[in-house]
Every structure is written in structure tokens, then in C-alpha cells.
Structure 1
């Protein structure tokens, strides 16, 4: 699986990220097999959040308990987690960030996070509080790199007025069938066209300019949690016909082609795979190493319902 550096850092990361929000009810053996398959296919990045799993830090705790990583193994992987979502509200206060990270470290049974992301934008954010928390976490060796999730460029710029560390990553929702971050720029300034509405401040372009790595969550979802589009012949007949055609051409699954569509973008976007099945993980992962032609990339784009003016 191809690798590249995370943002401006020297941290080498895999094209795919294993998302672990659904492992709370898995056995130790099932988690170990999933982790083992991820490592086998070349994945070295493992994604958590304090809220995953029903109870706070539940998925982090299952990961830590099941794997109990030895120092040599821990050094070979990248563990990232997110904080900021609380029951009924968002919280980027210094105290909450510090407390959340300490609890994540305890649950994961590790001394440090490679990457900490602020989960969803807090409208009441005070950048100085975030900066103070980040400084303390970095000085203590608890977090090595920092980033955000679901943030717009201007929200990132607001954080940068106080935060001193580079913000090296932004995790956003992106798939062929949910691609406003890409589709807007193609149809910018086209009056009366829904696609021409800028919904995120051109986050893809901003990330390329500022050397932030984007991570695509829900890479197989249509709309906002509207269901999986791969295999949905009712709503996406043309897209699925083309996915199957290209899957046959490249000798991979339709899901791997859907992955390859994201991976083809020159922004080096990581793809977050949330499956709990080792077999499905092995089925999707080959998409990381397929380079779609420009023509095929745009064919998939239009087959998903997007417009080329």
C-alpha cells in the first residue's frame, strides 16, 4: 500500500486508515484479527475518538485491552484520536481537551498519541484555550501532532491565530456520491446549479496550499449517512454499472474502485475504512494502489450525478 508523509511532518502514513468506531462489542480475538489484517495489507494508521463505543473511550479501551501493544509494535504504527464532542454539546476548552487525552491514553494503553484531532467545530471555541492545551500536551510528550476534523478553512485559520503547532490533518466526509468538497470547484460560479454552492470554503484546495492531509470518512456513503451507494442499483444504476466495469478491468472489487476514486486525487487523501471484517478490508485495500485515468475518474464523477459544465 502506498504511503506518504502526513502533512508537513516526517511521519509516514498509509493511504488507508482503519477506523475503529465499531469495535466496542468485538471480542479480543476479533479485534486482533482485524488489526492483523490491517497490518498485512499495509495499513499503519488507526483512528479513534473518545466518544466511540457508547460509553466514553469504550472503543479505545477495547483496542488497548485486546492488543496490549509492545513498544516495538507501537513505534511502527500511528494512533490518532479525536476529542471535543460531549453529550449534547461541543467543548474545545483547555480542561476538556487535557482530560480527554489523558483518558484516551489510559484506555489505549499508550504513552502518546501520534495525532490528536478536534472532532467537530465548537462555535464557542477560544483559540487561546486550545493553544494552551496543545502546548501542554506537546511539552509533556502526550501528543506529537495536531489537526482537526470537519473544519472549514476559516475555522482552521481562527485556530491558527493562537495555536503554534502546525495543524497537519483534517478529516472530512467524502465519497464519489458525497463530494461537495470536490464538486463545487468544478462548477464554481454557475448560477442556479446546486453543485456550485460552496459548502466548506474550498477545503480541498486550502489543504493542498497549506500542506494539510485530508482524511475521507464514510468513503462509501451517499449523502449525509444516506446509505452505501456500492450495490445500490436503485439510486445509482449508472455509477454501479461503471464501478463493476472498472472492477473487471482492474481485477478488483467495486468497493476498491470507489476507494481508488478518492486516492487518485493529487491531494493524497487518506481513506478511513470503518469495516470490522478482515475479509472486507482485504477486498477494499487494493484500491490504494490503483491509479485511475483522468477519463475514468471523471466518468465516475458524472455517473454519481455530478455535473461537468
Structure 2
């Protein structure tokens, strides 16, 4: 699997394993989580995507339990996590309302909690989870710079930021923001026309694509024309339809990094077959056109 360089000392795998729904699994035991990580590793996936808020602030601890039980796995993976969302559940149950907090104190507290929960001494990539309408870019930027300088965080980036949010924060930082994690799939194609992707391409930044399979419902939610085309291409390439949807993202020159969120190890393997699918330009546009529901202008 071709890897992508985010910083001088940080590469990530071409596909990432996401733990957004790890707590939804009927079995969250260390052995079960270890099996999913080992399946991902066998497919060439070395990067794990987390966030403090996942599972009501419990998903990081689920991963941490697996790493405590199998500590040899820690040095085989890169851990991505996020902070900045405060919801009135779990350790933030006393919050009066869901809100964003990108203050230095909250970021430092969140990183400390994440390190402890995930049984690690470092976060490979920390993302600010959502753009904060009350952000003080000088304070937030300084907090992120200090975390990298401390060694607790190797690199920093953002998630769900629009171009103006990105440039505002970056303008106040010494460290580069190395990625933006945004929603991209065959049923969520707006980034190709709203400027978000072009902005990141101009800066030569790999783009992490969350929900690349529509939360597992891409095929079910897709219009019939797209389902039919996915099925035909899957048969042509002898792969699952999920692999075609992932291959469509991988084919784009923006260096999109799909984040798989399944709890089923077999689905990880099926989706990773995308790495051996070579879609030509017209096949890419066939899928794009079917997703749009009309020809490109």
C-alpha cells in the first residue's frame, strides 16, 4: 500500500481505519478490537482514526484497553484523534449545551485525557474537530504549536474546516496544518464544486475523507443508476461494490484518504480490495455522473 507523507516524521496509510462506531459493536472487548486492528494491518492499514467524543467519550478507552492488552500494536500504528466538541455526556455531562471549545486549557485537558485513555505517550495527529465560531486563532494556534513542541503530539490538522477557517487558524501558527478531514463519498460530492478540495489541492495537502461509504448505507441510499453501475464495475473487477466506491476516491489526484468505519473485519478486507482496482478517467466520470444524476455541464 502506498503511504502518504504528512510531515517530515509522519506518514499515514493510504486507507485509514476509523473507530467512530467502535462502541456500537456488540463486542468491545480488547480481543475483538485487537482482531480489527490486526485485520487492518494485514491489509496495509496502519493509521487509526479516533476522536475524544466518539462513543460518548468512551471510544478512546476501548482502543486503549486493546493496546494495554497487546502493547506491541502501538508502534505498528499511527493514531489520529480529535478534540474541540463538548457534548453533555460522559466526562462532560455537566455541560449545559453542546458547544465547541478551542481554548488552550480545553485542548490541553483533552490531549491529556486522550493520552491516558489510549494508553500512549503520544498522539501522531491531532485535529481540531469542528470550526469554532468563537475561536481565538492566536490562542488555539499557540496551544497546538506548544503540543507539538512538547512531543505529546507529532502533527496537527483540522476536520470539517472551510478554507477561510483553515487559513485563519494557520495564520496564527508556526506548525503547518497537515490535513483537513471532510466528508466525501459518491453520495456527498459537494467538495468537488464548492472549492474545499481545490483549496487543499493548491496547498498539496492530503485530504482525509470521512464516511466514504455513506456510513455503510451508500449502496442502499444511492439512486438505482448508481447502484447498477457500482454492481457492474464490481463484477468487472471481481471485488465488492464497497471497493469500487473506495477506488473512486483513491483515483482522484487530490490524494484522498478514505476512512473506513466498519466494525466487521470482513468488510475491512473487502473495501481494501480497492487498492487493486484501476479506474480510468471515463469510469471515474461514469460514477460521478451517476451520483450527480445528470451529465457534467
TM-score by length of 2: 0.91
Q: Which residue of 2 aligns with 1:268?
A: 255
Looking at structure 1, the residues matched to 111 and 276 of structure 2 have their Cα atoms a distance apart, in angstroms, of: 34
The match for 2:172 among 162, 171, 187 is: 162
Looking at structure 2, the residues matched to 109 and 270 of structure 1 have their Cα atoms a distance apart, in angstroms, of: 26
Q: Is the 8 A contact 1:168 1:211 kept in 2?
A: no
Deviations 1:27-77 (A, max 9, x none): 2221111111011100010001010112x2x11111111222777642332
The match for 1:42 among 41, 44, 50 is: 44
Q: Which residue of 1 aligns with 2:93?
A: none
Number of residues of Structure 1 aligned to a counterpart in Structure 2? 283
Matched, 1:237 2:224: yes
The match for 1:304 among 279, 282, 291 is: 291
Structure 1 gap ranges (5+) = 185-197
Q: Which residue of 1 aligns with 2:21?
A: 22
Looking at structure 1, the residues matched to 48 and 239 of structure 2 have their Cα atoms a distance apart, in angstroms, of: 24
Deviations 1:84-142 (A, max 9, x none): 00121011111000100010000000000110000010000001111221122112210
Deviations 1:127-161 (A, max 9, x none): 11112211221122100100000001111110022
Indicate the structure with greater helix content.
Answer: 2
Q: Which residue of 2 aligns with 1:2?
A: 2
Superposition RMSD in Å: 1.7
Q: Is the 8 A contact 1:2 1:288 kept in 2?
A: no
Q: Which residue of 1 aligns with 2:129?
A: 119
Looking at structure 1, the residues matched to 79 and 153 of structure 2 have their Cα atoms a distance apart, in angstroms, of: 10
TM-score by length of 1: 0.87
Q: Is the 8 A contact 2:131 2:165 kept in 1?
A: yes
Q: Is the 8 A contact 2:34 2:70 kept in 1?
A: no
Matched, 1:291 2:293: no
Q: Which residue of 2 aligns with 1:129?
A: 139
Looking at structure 1, the residues matched to 69 and 281 of structure 2 have their Cα atoms a distance apart, in angstroms, of: 42
Looking at structure 2, the residues matched to 155 and 243 of structure 1 have their Cα atoms a distance apart, in angstroms, of: 35
Query: Aligned with 1:271: secondary structure?
Result: strand
Looking at structure 2, the residues matched to 125 and 230 of structure 1 have their Cα atoms a distance apart, in angstroms, of: 38
Structure 2 gap ranges (5+) = 88-97
4+ residue runs of structure 1 moved beyond 6 angstroms? none
Q: Which residue of 1 aligns with 2:203?
A: 210
Q: Which residue of 2 aligns with 1:189?
A: none
